[in-house]
Structures are given as structure tokens and as C-alpha cells.
Amino acid sequence: MADPVPTKPSIPAALARKGAIPAALLAALTSPLAFSTLERLEGNILEVYRDKLANGIPTYCAGRTDWSAKPGTKLTSDQCREVNKATLLEYGYTILSCVNWDYLTARRLIGLTMFAINVGKKGACASQAVRQINAGNVLAGCDLIAHTPSGAPNWSYANGVYVQGLQNRRQAERALCREQGA
């Protein structure tokens, strides 16, 4: 692993075509709330390890994954802060590209970004949750992060096995998504 700190992600072309990102949304992605939420949900591990819930993919800092990362590699707190910032921006840009900004608040963006960091960019953007939010059914969409329409746990399984920790995370993401404040 040459450099564990990814470069600052550029704004994807699809996102740039949507126009200027509202300043409040852009600021939310690197706010203290975003950093503290990411570290609370993911931890902040200063060494590359194999994530058992994610088929052994090397993981470090606050959930950054990279198949080329060498397990056992040590990182500093400053390196992880930069990694975590790049992760928040990368996944936040993805959410900004697939969610109608009219339905986003800063907290909703943070909740959806945490969701994407955990389930993947494609999984989040193609989810029923995002489809419902984009259709204007915001609270129903937020609820779909944690529960299926029938009320069963949603996005809370790893390798087909229910994981309470994932459901706890989904509940935290849902709560942020449902908050009406800025």
C-alpha cells in the first residue's frame, strides 16, 4: 500500500451537471457531526485489518476499504483524519448525485452518506429508500433505510445472517435522515 490516504475526490461529472452544490450541503459533508457520526458508526482503526463482515476486505480508519491495502499497516491519527475526510466527500458526492437536493437537509445528507459508506454507492443510490425520497416521500424513504415495507429489518444482514449491530446503525442513519433541522 503506497499511500493509504486517498486524494481528495473530485466532483463527479454527473454531479457537476446538476449545478453549484448548495453551500450548506457541501459544508455538512466535512462538519464535526459528519466526522463524529462516521467514527461512532465505524470506529477509527489506525491499522489495516480484514473485515469479517465484508468478506475479508482490508479496512482501516473509519471503514475505508481497499483490496490493495496490506493488513497490519499502521496509520497515524492525522492520516486517518484525511482518509475519513476523503471518504465523507466521495460518498457524499455520490449521494448528492443521486438524491434530489430539494429533499436534502444537512443531517439527511449525513445520514444517507453513512448509509452509502456502509452498503456501497450503488446499493444506496439504487435503494428503495432513495427512490422514495426522490419521489417526495421523504419520511417513508428514511424509514426504508432501517425497515422493509413489511416492518422487517432492512440492510441488517451480512452473508445472509442478521447482525444487530447493522440494525443499530440503520436506526442511527434513519434518525438522521428523518430529522427536519438543517
Asked whether residue 11 is domain-assigned, the answer is: no
Q: Looking at residue 47, what is its pLDDT? A: 97
Strands 57-61 and 45-51: antiparallel
In a domain, 121, yes or no: yes
Q: Determine, yes or no, domain membership for 103.
A: yes
pLDDT of residue 52: 87
Q: What pLDDT is recorded for position 105?
A: 95
By residue range, what is the domain housing residue 116? Answer: 18-178
**Any domain includes 13:** no
| Structure confidence at residue 181 (pLDDT) | 61
- pLDDT tens series, the chain, 182 aa: 556 667 678 777 778 777 788 889 999 999 999 999 999 999 999 999 999 888 899 999 999 999 999 999 999 999 999 999 999 999 999 999 999 999 999 999 999 999 999 999 999 999 999 999 999 999 999 999 999 999 999 999 988 999 999 999 999 999 999 997 65
Query: Which pLDDT does position 162 carry in this prediction?
Result: 95
CA 150 to chain centre: 24
Q: Is 8 a domain residue?
A: no
Query: Which grid cell sits at 167?
Result: 440494525
Grid coordinates representing 156 are: 441488517
* The predicted structure's pLDDT at residue 70: 96
**CATH classification of the domain holding 25:** 1.10.530.40
User: Is residue 7 in a domain?
Assistant: no
CA distance 107 to 122: 21
- State pTM to two decimals: 0.91
Please count the structural domains in the chain.
1
For residue 95, is it within any domain? Answer: yes
The span from the CA of 95 to the CA of 103, in Å, is 12
> Does residue 63 belong to any structural domain of this protein?
yes
pLDDT at 161: 92
